[in-house]
Chain A
Amino acid sequence: MLKIIWKKITSSRASFLFLVSLFSLTIGTACSTKHSEIQNSDLLRAKRLIDNQQTDEAIELLEQNSEKNSTDPEYRVTLASAYAHKAGIRIQSLSGIVHASNQLKKINEQNGGAFGTTSDYNSGDTQNRTHQRLSYLSKILAASSNYFLLISTIPTVPENKVVFIKKSIKLMNDSRVTWRASDITYRLLLEIIYFKYSFSTQFLDQLMEPSQRSKESCTLDIQTLSTATMSLGKQLIDILSDYALIYPQNKEQILDRSNELSQNITNLAVNLQIADGVDLISASIFSDPVLSQRVGGFVRCGGHSY
């Protein structure tokens, strides 16, 4: 059988030559595959490493050439996303926030801006103004319950991973880079995630009842609260300004909100400073154990003894 085949091959040499050429071509083409992105090989490799949960290797690869690509937005956002990935940010967590942001927008549109007042808020007699304020309060409460529901969809970052989120946001705040709309959206999402972390640890924690009541644990650290308020306020302003960049048609409205927020935070900070002062004075004046608990005693521990 083999002899017959060999005889046929040698009798048709030209055709056999063609056969061998085709065979060589087989090996050649099989061993080469399409590579349409060689010019972005580092980026592609880094993205594959992230997908394969080899985030540290991805960060190392990108950091090696970060100076050469310091103004390349794609490079910077990929490095930022690698850090975010290290903090546990995934597609599933992002889609929840995108849902939330769309719903937030709808709530805002439906309520005429959840925290926005109508034109006759300050008009009319006392009865009318009271009615307006009650109506505004109920609107805020209703919207707030929706907001808190939405806030729950925002992923929570563990304490030990927050540093990566902060690093990620810092990378995305480089003014030398011309950021694209998608990059600003990503930065906004990271800022929302970090805001939630800050709000719960720096603000809410201060107001929550301690696990064990004592004079120290029931004390409200107004100074820390004041600092936290300023920091959260700044974060909110950053969030609003990024939102304005993404939705320029709402820019003016958002800028107004931003200014209003900035003013309110400043006022709040001042009020907190005053409250701190009054608190200290009252603690030294009143000897009554209940009255000497100070504000913290009432806010955190419900006025109970410890």
Chain B
Amino acid sequence: MWRSFILIVLLLFSPVLNASELSFSQNARTFESQTQSLFIKGLAFACLNSTQIPDDLPCNPALLTYLQKESLSLQALISNGSSNLEKIKKLLNQSSTQDTIDALFSKERILQIESHASLLFRSKYFAAQYLPVDIKGFSVVRNEANPDVEFYAVEDKGFRLQAAYPLTENLTIGLQSRLTDRKFIRQRFKLTDLATPAGKNLLTPKTYNFQTLEPSFSALVYQPWKVRISMMYANAGRYSERYDQIDPADELQGGISITPELLPWGELLLSLDYKSLTAEDSSLDKLHYGVSYSFGSMSISGGIDTHGISSGVFFSIQSISAGILYTTTKGLGDDSQNYTQTVYAQVGWQI
């Protein structure tokens, strides 16, 4: 019976026709509406069941109760492409010049940057995060003869609050609230559009704010290998303006994980989540598979989804932490030249 089960799974998820040469060159782990730490990016955002996230609040607030020690820390993350940070900020602050536009769209085919700093407070039942600066930008220019630009730049500021309560030893519930002010530009245009009167406002940023309330639960359902199931109702709340191209719809997210005791030391976690990261994710895009291994001061994470592959290492000792993550949109066995590679670096200090 279990053989047929495996066969069904293999048939269901058999490799889709490799269409990478037709795919839009996206960044594997930077998305307009997602602000997550290096470790979570490494897991391909399959973190609904991760009880020990060393550099961020848990994705699922119900897992706060598994926290072993309260802490107050500062984390700062930056990706490669940091030279573009000033240009993106100028665009978002509407203080850009023609030279900025040229530098952004005429000189490089792919441009990317993610940079954020956050203050985190974590304790067993309550956690809070303050995000004073979070900037993301991505652009791809196709057809250098008549450039076709797909571009987004997002700046977020705000708070994230979490609370958790254990109902039983193996069932916990949680609540998360995000309070965010967002400024963004998300456009697809031809470079020649910028010379037309209609195109003058193409790069004008839109601003809005939102407050969400996201309940969740987590349950340890099977003791051998600690099989855990979690669910969370995400993105529900009040939005001053709703932009469907950037905000994923309200949805029920779910995840399942196991902690196989295969190795004598350390903790291995395998997890599978079903959740949207962008407003355009299809059903297959919502599947995220992550693996993490924690051993001493080191935590290794790896993840795969249709957006790309990621792998990183994170070290944390006493009050200092640092991590590095590699991501790529190149699929397995893909020899196309059209892919994006990104390196993220993060440092943290426990206050």
Q: Do A and B bind each other?
A: yes
- Are B338 and A48 in contact, with the CB atoms below 8 A? yes
For the A-B complex with A25-B272, A36-B280, A46-B143 known, give 6 more contacts whose Cβ atoms are closer than 8 Å: A15-B260, A29-B287, A31-B332, A33-B329, A34-B307, A182-B192
Select one of A8, A25, A80, A102 contacting B262, CB under 8 A.
Answer: A8
- Are B331 and A84 in contact, with the CB atoms below 8 A? no
Select one of A13, A22, A51 contacting B272, CB under 8 A.
Answer: A22
Please give, as numbers and ranges, the residues of chain B lying within 8 Å of A101 by CB-CB distance. Answer: 195
Are A33 and B18 CB-contacts (below 8 A) given A13-B2, A25-B289, A186-B192? yes
Select one of B190, B197, B332 contacting A27, CB under 8 A.
Answer: B332
Please give, as numbers and ranges, the residues of chain B lying within 8 Å of A35 by CB-CB distance. Answer: 19-20, 22-24
Please give, as numbers and ranges, the residues of chain B lying within 8 Å of A34 by CB-CB distance. Answer: 23-24, 26, 285, 306-307
- Are A15 and B222 in contact, with the CB atoms below 8 A? yes
CB distance from B222 to the nearest CB of A (A): 7
Closest to B256 in A: A18
Please give, as numbers and ranges, the residues of chain A lying within 8 Å of B68 by CB-CB distance. Answer: none
Select one of A36, A81, A249 contacting B146, CB under 8 A.
Answer: A81
Alpha-carbon gap, A77 to B146, bound state (A): 8
Select one of A17, A47, A92, A186 contacting B6, CB under 8 A.
Answer: A17
Alpha-carbon gap, A246 to B5, bound state (A): 62
CB distance from A105 to the nearest CB of B (A): 10
Are A19 and B194 CB-contacts (below 8 A) given A91-B147, A99-B98? no
Please give, as numbers and ranges, the residues of chain B lying within 8 Å of A52 by CB-CB distance. Answer: 337
Are A32 and B98 CB-contacts (below 8 A) given A19-B260, A25-B289, A81-B146? no
Closest to A18 in B: B258
Q: Does A14 contact B (CB under 8 A)?
A: yes
CB distance from B46 to the nearest CB of A (A): 10
Are A51 and B144 CB-contacts (below 8 A) given A29-B287, A181-B199, A182-B196? yes
Q: Does A85 contact B (CB under 8 A)?
A: yes
Are A12 and B224 CB-contacts (below 8 A) given A36-B23, A94-B191, A101-B195? yes
- Are B144 and A37 in contact, with the CB atoms below 8 A? no
Interface stretch among B9-17, B77-85, B123-131, B211-219?
B9-17
Q: Which of A17-45 contact B (CB under 8 A)?
A: 17-22, 24-38, 41, 44-45
Closest to A184 in B: B196
- Are A36 and B270 in contact, with the CB atoms below 8 A? no
Alpha-carbon gap, A13 to B177, bound state (A): 39
Are A84 and B145 CB-contacts (below 8 A) given A38-B22, A48-B338? yes
- Are B23 and A28 in contact, with the CB atoms below 8 A? no
- Are B142 and A44 in contact, with the CB atoms below 8 A? yes
A-to-B contact residues, CB < 8 Å: 5, 8-9, 11-15, 17-22, 24-38, 41, 44-48, 50-52, 77-78, 80-82, 84-85, 89-92, 94-95, 98-99, 101-102, 181-183, 185-186, 189, 246-249
Please give, as numbers and ranges, the residues of chain A lying within 8 Å of B191 by CB-CB distance. Answer: 91, 94-95, 98
CB distance from B250 to the nearest CB of A (A): 22
Q: Does B261 contact A (CB under 8 A)?
A: yes
- Are A247 and B197 in contact, with the CB atoms below 8 A? yes
- Are A32 and B306 in contact, with the CB atoms below 8 A? yes
- Are A30 and B332 in contact, with the CB atoms below 8 A? yes
Q: How large is the interface on B (under 10, 10 to 19, 20 to 34, 35 or more residues)?
A: 35 or more
Please give, as numbers and ranges, the residues of chain B lying within 8 Å of A22 by CB-CB distance. Answer: 270, 272, 289
Alpha-carbon gap, A80 to B332, bound state (A): 35
Q: Does B102 contact A (CB under 8 A)?
A: yes
- The interface centre, meaning the residue of A27, A29, A36 with most chain B CB atoms within 10 A of its CB, is A29
Q: Does B106 contact A (CB under 8 A)?
A: yes
Closest to A14 in B: B222
Alpha-carbon gap, A225 to B306, bound state (A): 63
Mask, B277-296, CB within 8 Å of A = 1, is 00010001101010000000
Q: Does B193 contact A (CB under 8 A)?
A: yes
- Are A27 and B15 in contact, with the CB atoms below 8 A? yes
Please give, as numbers and ranges, the residues of chain A lying within 8 Å of B18 by CB-CB distance. Answer: 31-33
Closest to A1 in B: B264
- Are A89 and B26 in contact, with the CB atoms below 8 A? no
Closest to A245 in B: B196
Alpha-carbon gap, A85 to B196, bound state (A): 22
Please give, as numbers and ranges, the residues of chain B lying within 8 Å of A90 by CB-CB distance. Answer: 144-145
Q: Which of B173-215 contact A (CB under 8 A)?
A: 189-199
CB distance from B22 to the nearest CB of A (A): 5
Alpha-carbon gap, A30 to B20, bound state (A): 11
Please give, as numbers and ranges, the residues of chain B lying within 8 Å of A44 by CB-CB distance. Answer: 22, 142
Mask, B1-44, CB within 8 Å of A = 1, is 01001100110011111111111101000000000000000000
Q: Which of B216-236 contact A (CB under 8 A)?
A: 222, 224-225, 227
Select one of B2, B5, B106, B262 contacting A91, CB under 8 A.
Answer: B106
